[in-house]
Structure formats: C-alpha cells, structure tokens
Structure 1
Amino acid sequence: MSNVEHLKELHGLPAFEFETEPKGELPAAGAVAWRVSVDPYGDSDIAFEELWDRFLETVDPAGIRAIIVGPWGEAYDNDSELIVNRLVKDRERLTGLRAVFIGDLEMEEAEISWIEQSDVTPVLAAYPQLEELGIRGGSGLRFPALRHEHLRTLRFETGGLPGEVVRGVAGSELPALEHLDIWLGVSEYGGDATVADLAPFLAGGGFPALRHLGLRNSEIQDEIATALASAPVVAQLTSLDLSMGVLTDEGMIALLDGQPLTHLTKLDLHHNYVTEPVAERVRAALEPSGVELDLSEPGDTWEHEGVVHRYTAVAE
C-alpha cells in the first residue's frame, strides 16, 4: 500500500482530527475537513459510534462541510456499512455537508486490500447536495448505477476495483461531474474491470461536465492508453491522468499516434515503464504547446527466469 497517506485536505479544506478529548479551542465547523477515526490497537476503547456521537455533540452539525472517515474498527472485520448508516441517519443534522471520504487509512493501519467497504450509494441518496465523494479500498465495494444532480468529484482509491463498480459508475447519470479519478488496481486483489467496462467513459457524452479523467494504478494501462488514442471523451478534457500503472512504450506510442493531446493543460504519467527515447518523444510533442507533463518516478522491474515483471504503484 505504498504511496497512500492520510488526506491532508478535502474539498479545499485542511484536514483536522477530532479527538475524544479535544484540547484547546476547536476550529469553526466549516473551516476544516473533520477527520473522525478510532484506533483499534490504541489505548482508548471508545467505539466509533460513541466517537461519532461526541463529534456531532461537540461540533455544530449544520456547519460541517467535509468529513474524512479514518479507521472505524478492525479494517478486515468491519465493513463501511456502519459509516454509511450513520451518515444516512444524521442527514437532517448534517445539512451543510458537501464532501465525504470513507477509508482514510495508511499502510500502518491496514493494507489497502484489507479495507472492507460496502454499498456507498446511500450516502449520495441521503445528501442530494453532496459535491464530492471519495472511497479508499475496493474489497466489498458496491456502487449500483444512480442519478445525482450535484456531485462534482468522484474518487476511488483501490488496489483492485471490481468491474461491477466501474459498470455502476459508467451507468450512472452525473450531469455535474467534473473530476473522475479511478484506481483500477490488479486482478489479484479484485481489479477485474476491462477496457470494455470503461467504454461508456471513453465514448464521451455520459458525463457532459467532465474535465478531468484519471484511469490509474492499472495493470492494463497500455490497453487503456490505446483506447484513449481514439476516445471521444479526450476532446472535452483539460487534464488526463494515466499514472501509477504499468504503462510501457506500447501504450504511450499508441496514445501519441492517436488524436491530438495539445489541448490538455496536464498529462500525468508518473510511475511508468516508458523508456527515455519515448519519454523524449512525449516531451517534444506536448511541451511546446504548454502541456504540463509528469513523467517522474519510473517503475521498478523484476526479472525472474527470463520474465520481466512490472507493478502498479499501489496494490499490496
């Protein structure tokens, strides 16, 4: 679970940990993104639900704009249905809530594949004004297709995202969605989405407001890049993120030989397996047009019995 850290901000607000015994004066309810978590291995034996109740008794619920949920118990024993249910239950108190992130755990707390999620769509149903939803962990995650009028940012951080989730998002009606970031992961940890599952994203039109598309951390990164070479959605984007995956010269050359990318403001390709000659070709093609490129952090390969192995940035 490398390269995964606690969020430092959410919805443009700095993260602030709510403690069981707050020390000093707390910030205004809407000035920070409140991180609520319990340490199942720590000295305190407080349960998450008790901490949640203290949080809403201490901080004005109506003023809270963003909530980050960290550990809520043993990561592999307790799924996020508890969190979803509490958010739904308290929807009439959290009237100003605009952003939620569920599963803000680092490697020291749990490997990303240990984080047990659930059906998170009831949160969107309960909060029709929600603008941002982020999820870390793909195990047990469900996202049946829905319609939501105001969601602008949707993010999945996983070491393996079920294809069922990808198809649910693809089938959803999200007319305000501007930023879609998906870590597809690897098949060993449940990441069984295919390029065919991504077809509705790539066709364009399904999310008319979409300006940023991230299809990241994937072992099929070459296939994705090749599909994007002729995908209609690219024309409507201002930024494209294909980082953290197993992108090689094959995919990169296909992308370069496809439709123009010079309208992009940013193309993120960090953690890749592109050789320097091809990287230079990318720079020569795009940097003169002002495209911000990130080709940093070349991935490490491992050779065994004549077979070269390449890895996504985040898996296990």
Structure 2
Amino acid sequence: MIHEHLTEFHGLPVRFPGDDTPASQAAWRVSGDPYESEEDIADAFRKLLDTVDCAAVRALVVGTWGWAHDDARADRPIRLLVEAAPHLPALEAIFLGDYVSEESEISWIGQSDVTPLLTAYPRLRRLDVRGGDGLRLRPVTHDALETLRFESGGLPARVVRAVGASTLPALRHLEMWLGEENYSGDSGPDDWAAILAGGGLPALRHLGLQDSERQDEVAAAVATAPIVARLETLDLSMGVLSDEGAEALLSGQPLTHLRRINLRHHFMSDEMAAKVVAALSGVEVDVSEQQEPDDDWRFIEVSE
C-alpha cells in the first residue's frame, strides 16, 4: 500500500479537482510536486476550493507537499487544512501524506502536530497519517472520530502516549505501525499501557499494534490487556513476532471471542504457528508470510 498512490479512500474513488465526479462521491486528492517544482500544494488547495463543491466534500487525500523531509514545510498541509475548514463542513475523512516509496521513504516523510486537524474538524470520522518523522499529537477529546491510523517506519512514543491520554468515545478502529527505534519508533510497554487499559476508548473493536521490532513485548502486553475483552479483531502483524511472543499471547487471557487475529509477517516456527491456529479454532487466524531470520536479525515489514 505504500508503493502506489491511493485509488480509494473512505469507500470512495480518489479523484483530482477538475474531475466531473459529484463532490460527495469522491475522495479528492490535493497534491503538490514531491521534488519542489513550481507546482505547490497551496495551488492544489486553491484549485479544490475553486472547482469542487466543497460544501459536499466528504473525504480528502493530501498527497505530496514538497521534499518530504524538509522540516520547514512539514506543517504546511496542516495549516492549509485548518484554513480550509470553514469551506468543508461535511468533511469526514482525511488521509495525510500519500507519498509513495519512490517519492520518499516512509521514515523520511516530515510530519508535524496533527492535533489542529481534530480541533478544526469536530465532525471528522477518520484520520490516517503516513510518516512519523517529527509527528506530534496532543491529548484530545473528539466525539466523532471512528478510525485513527498511523502508518510509519517508527512511531514516536509521544504520539502513542497522547492517543492513550485522549478521550475518543466513538473510536472503533485504532491502527499504529510502531516501527523501529532507528526511525523514532521508541515506544515501549509503559507507553502502550493507557491504550491497552482502554479508558478513553470505550467503543474500540479493532486494535492494531503492528510493524514492531518489539512485537514479542507487544504480544505479552496484549495478553493481559483489559481492552482485549471488548475487541472483535486484533492485528499484531508486520513485526518480528517469534515463538516467545506467541507463547505469551496464548498463555494470557482467552482470545476465542475474537473474529480475527492477524499475525502475518512473523518469525514463528512451523510448530508454533500450527499451535496458535489450533488453540484459536473458530477464530480466523492469519499466520502467512513466515520469515526466516538473517542469523539473529529479524526485520519488520516497513521501516525505512
């Protein structure tokens, strides 16, 4: 998904301003040039406001806004989105950072504080953010948000803690690519604890703590987490889950109430993978894409 630009978002086809699709029937992509040409993302926003019935727009995909790791530009899309808020009263979903790998490695995408988006759009139902470099979030209360996703090669611990300290009563889907410490993915059990306690997330039904170089520790923390009892689906994929983490998961609280558990891209042995599937009969369990370690080195799916 990080190698091709989005063609669908929020259940809508992605279109560019100027297309004749009705405004409410598309996710509109606004994008500048990823290599700092004269084509600017501010121009793309102006074209959106001039050519699309913005009062009916439900979803936006914010693409490239220049050289991805130019820190001076990192907050430009946030400022433009906040300024456009009065013109977008029906906006339900934002994807921020639709850079593909040939435009920028995911760990190089410069982000900033995304809290103003949740403040400016109190009716927002979905927020997806790609890239973790410089990413910040402050604890927030938001009554409408149902889906929150962070795609990164390294998600800063401060963002993880802020999610745990937030009050998101409508949130049903939380997905976090934790990544590796080399790319700012420095969270650990103390940072995950508030999310796993679930105090500010009473409606959560899907939890993804994925793509971690500490996936065994994630699994051990999930095994005793209060929030698990209310989940329908659990995603621990993309990381370096080994037999140790899988055993911790099976030794914890029952998981048979889940509809699905995703452990794809893992380092479990054949025997342990079979044991997990057998122990969770009646649950859809994905143990595909078994990886082989390089000597003692295990690698996450998405890092740089």
Q: Distance in 1 between matches of 2:7 and 2:248?
A: 36
TM-superposition CA deviations, 1:11-35 (whole Å, max 9, x none)? 22122244xxx4xx52110111112
Aligned residue for 1:29? 23
Q: Distance in 1 between matches of 2:294 and 2:3?
A: 22
Aligned residue for 1:140? 134
Aligned residue for 2:67? 74
- Opposite residue 45 of structure 2, the aligned amino acid is W
Counterpart of 2:85 in 1: which secondary structure?
coil
TM-score scaled by length of structure 2: 0.96
User: Could you tell me how far 1:301 is from its partner in structure 2?
Assistant: 2.1
Aligned residue for 2:195? 201
User: Contact between 2:33 and 2:41, CA under 8 Å: does it hold in 1?
Assistant: no
User: Contact between 1:247 and 1:272, CA under 8 Å: does it hold in 2?
Assistant: yes
Aligned residue for 1:234? 228
Aligned residue for 1:57? 50
Matches within 5 A, 1:219-230: 219-230=213-224
Matches within 5 A, 1:1-316: 4-18=3-17, 22=18, 26-41=20-35, 45-77=38-70, 78-287=72-281, 289=282, 291-303=283-295, 308-316=296-304
User: Could you tell me how far 1:87 is from its partner in structure 2?
Assistant: 1.0
Counterpart of 1:309 in 2: which secondary structure?
coil
User: Contact between 1:131 and 1:151, CA under 8 Å: does it hold in 2?
Assistant: yes
TM-superposition CA deviations, 1:57-100 (whole Å, max 9, x none)? 10111011000111111111154311111111111110110000
User: Contact between 1:184 and 1:217, CA under 8 Å: does it hold in 2?
Assistant: yes
TM-superposition CA deviations, 1:225-269 (whole Å, max 9, x none)? 011111111100000000000100000011012111111111011
User: Could you tell me how far 1:282 is from its partner in structure 2?
Assistant: 1.1
Counterpart of 1:302 in 2: which secondary structure?
coil
Q: Distance in 1 between matches of 2:205 and 2:194?
A: 15
Counterpart of 1:169 in 2: which secondary structure?
helix
Q: Distance in 2 between matches of 1:154 and 1:40?
A: 25
Q: Distance in 1 between matches of 2:133 and 2:140?
A: 20
- Opposite residue 10 of structure 2, the aligned amino acid is H
- Opposite residue 313 of structure 1, the aligned amino acid is E
Structure 2 vs 1, CA of residues 269 and 179 (structure 1 numbering), >3 Å: closer, same or farther?
Answer: same
RMSD: 1.5
- Opposite residue 29 of structure 1, the aligned amino acid is A
Counterpart of 1:227 in 2: which secondary structure?
helix
Structure 2 vs 1, CA of residues 96 and 180 (structure 1 numbering), >3 Å: closer, same or farther?
Answer: same
User: Could you tell me how far 1:280 is from its partner in structure 2?
Assistant: 0.6
- Opposite residue 312 of structure 1, the aligned amino acid is I
How many residues align structurally? 303
Q: Distance in 1 between matches of 2:3 and 2:160?
A: 21
Counterpart of 1:150 in 2: which secondary structure?
coil
TM-superposition CA deviations, 1:182-203 (whole Å, max 9, x none)? 0010000111111111101111
Percent identical: 51
Q: Distance in 2 between matches of 1:9 and 1:34?
A: 10
Q: Which runs of 4+ in 1 moved over 6 A?
A: none
Q: Distance in 2 between matches of 1:129 and 1:80?
A: 24
- Opposite residue 144 of structure 1, the aligned amino acid is R
Q: Distance in 2 between matches of 1:278 and 1:190?
A: 31
- Opposite residue 11 of structure 1, the aligned amino acid is H
Structure 2 vs 1, CA of residues 242 and 147 (structure 1 numbering), >3 Å: closer, same or farther?
Answer: same
User: Could you tell me how far 1:299 is from its partner in structure 2?
Assistant: 2.5
User: Contact between 1:3 and 1:314, CA under 8 Å: does it hold in 2?
Assistant: no
Please list every run of 5 or more consecutive structure 1 residues that lacks an aligned counterpart in the other structure: none
TM-score scaled by length of structure 1: 0.92
- Opposite residue 129 of structure 2, the aligned amino acid is I
Q: Distance in 2 between matches of 1:252 and 1:9?
A: 34
TM-superposition CA deviations, 1:258-297 (whole Å, max 9, x none)? 111111111011111011101111111113x2x1111111
User: Contact between 1:185 and 1:191, CA under 8 Å: does it hold in 2?
Assistant: yes
